[in-house]
Structure 1
Amino acid sequence: MFAKLLTMASIAILAVATPTPGGGGGSVSGSCSTGPIQCCNTVQKASDPAAAGILALLGIVLQSVDVAVGLSCSPITVIGVGNGGSCNANAVCCEDNSHGGIISIGCVPVTL
């Protein structure tokens, strides 16, 4: 019985975390195919002086200065670990979250 319950819970979590096809346009309805949804204090273009300064300090070169980046980000998880499943700043899905929460690159807003 426990194994059956565990299997059903795993399927439910995967269903929530899997994006729906045909999406686009910015609002992803709580899903993110690149990792956990991030809660960022600010989201701005890479050309903004604050973002450009952090990118330069980290040695990150982007092909476009129009890319949206999130600053001071932390993950929001499906089960409520992290920020408790909510975000009072900017909930975003980012292409690159590999910079320790300092900056996330290629972000688009999501609806929680």
Structure 2
Amino acid sequence: MFSKLSVVVTSVLITLAAAMPNTTPPVTTPTSNQCCNSVVSSSSAAASAVAALLGLDLTGLDVPVGLSCSPITVIGNNCGGTTVVCDAPDEEWGGLIAINCIPITL
């Protein structure tokens, strides 16, 4: 039963990704402190896969990309991942990806 559900969910995500127009995200000065599960190159397969789901085209960008990020709202080092400052519009990308991530030390 769960295998059928995963096939349906995967199919829906692929369909949504194909239906969304690809846009190149702007690379701006990072202003948002984030805790990301990982930070990878914008040319990596993982970054490309997440970007495709969101309708983003990372082709030609050469910046660090944060994956599975959440804003840091309390001062302190309670981040279980990588602490970075990024361009991460939560409204648009829902914490799945952040662009131009620079490591910081809190």
Q: Report the TM-score, using the length of structure 2 for normalisation.
A: 0.61
Gaps of 5+ in 2: 1-28
Query: How far has the Cα of 1:57 moved from its partner?
Result: 1.9
Larger displacement relative to structure 2 (40-49 or 60-69): 60-69
Distance 1:50 1:72 in 2: 11
Task: Give runs of aligned pairs for residues 6-17 of structure 1, distance below 5 A.
Answer: none
Give the root-mean-square deviation of aligned CA atoms.
2.2
| Percent of matched pairs sharing the same residue | 51
Is 1:64 the counterpart of 2:22 in the alignment? Answer: no
Q: Which residue of 2 aligns with 1:111?
A: 105
Determine which structure has more spread, i.e. the larger CA radius of gyration: 1
How far the C-alpha of 1:97 sits from its partner, in A, is: 3.1
Question: Are the equivalent residues in 1 in contact too, given 2:43–2:58 (CA < 8 A)?
Answer: no
Of residues 43, 47, 55, the one that matches 1:47 is 43
- State the match for 2:88 in structure 1: 96
Q: Which has more helix, going by share of residues? A: 2
Q: Tell me by how many angstroms 1:90 deviates.
A: 0.2
TM-score normalised by length of structure 1: 0.58
| Alignment coverage as a number of residue pairs | 76
Mark the runs of 5 or more structure 1 residues left unpaired by the alignment: 1-31
Distance change in 2, residues 1:43/1:100 (3 Å):
same
Q: 1:34 aligns with which of 23, 31, 34?
A: 31
Letter of the structure 1 residue corresponding to residue 94 of structure 2: G
